[in-house]
Amino acid sequence: MQSIEQSSVGNLEKRVRRKTMKAITVCLVVTLVLVASTASAQANGYAGYQAVYEKNQTPKHNLELYLEKPAWGKVGVSAFTFVTSGWAEAYAGPTYAPSSWLTAGVSLGAQQTNNELGIRYASSLWMGGGKVQFLGFVEGDNSVARDASGFWYDAKAVYSPLPRLSLGLHGRRFVGIGPRVEVKLPTPSLPVTLWGTWNPYDPESRNQHMSAMRGVVGAKAQF
């Protein structure tokens, strides 16, 4: 009897998951179509590579792709994908730019972990003026209300003393907090930025809060 009930619950969960993923897929497809079809401006974004390093651990290699496009006045659309070993996500949604120095966005998408699909939520905030910029992302899934294991953030604030050099601070959950350096290469046809962070302090680390060998290095090509 118990096995029958468990089977019924399992089948119900699968049906709910399938319907949820269909809804998410529709949202992603609609947003991507809007990104491709809105004629008000050309889409722009970047493709990037990252390597997260930590002492006595194999570097974690990540790939990312971001697209954004104005659609109707101050409203635009964006899409983002991120892939790493054993985990991937894709989400899309509207953006709103009330001024030239402020853009906010919210997104809905999907994540894949251990061959299982789930919902992924995200919000973003960009502020910039002159030589100072801030960019932050907050993401989560259905585990946030339970144990916050699916909660994630990434934020950076940089100052550009020179046209091709930016210095600042970078914080990322599961990596840490520390200084960041960005260098833009002199490649006008395809702007490329090399960057790196040193994140010696991680307030949530179970092993050690302080580590001199922890950070991220990366490169991104903008288009």
* pLDDT tens digits along 154-169: 999 999 999 999 999 9
Determine phi and psi for 23, rounding to 5 degrees.
-65, -45
Q: What 3-state class would DSSP assign to 5?
A: helix
Q: Which amino acid is at 113?
A: T
Percent of the chain's residues with pLDDT above 70? 81
Percent of the chain's residues with pLDDT above 90? 59
Write the DSSP symbol of residue 196.
E
Q: What are the residues whose beta carbons fall under 8 Å from the beta carbon of 8, sequence distance 6 or more?
A: none
141 pLDDT tier (thresholds 50, 70, 90): very high
CB 104 within 8 Å of CB 122: no
CB 91 within 8 Å of CB 79: yes
Find the distance separating the first CA and the last CA of the chain, reported in whole Å: 59
- In tens, the pLDDT along 51-100 reads 999 988 899 999 999 999 988 899 999 999 999 988 899 999 999 999 99
Average pLDDT over all residues of the chain: 85
Instruction: Say how many C-beta atoms besides its own lie within 10 A of residue 190's C-beta.
Output: 9
What is the tally of helices (H) and strands (E) in the chain?
1, 12
- What are the structure tokens assigned to 140, written together? 């989560």
Between 10-19, 56-65, 96-105, 206-215, the lowest mean confidence (pLDDT) is in 10-19
Q: What are the residues whose beta carbons fall under 8 Å from the beta carbon of 165, sequence distance 6 or more?
A: 181, 182, 183, 184
Confidence at residue 195, expressed as pLDDT on a 0 to 100 scale: 98
**What is the rounded CA–CA span in Å between residue 187 and residue 100?**
26
Q: How many CA atoms, within 13 angstroms, populate the side-chain half-sphere of residue 185?
A: 12
Confidence at residue 31, expressed as pLDDT on a 0 to 100 scale: 56
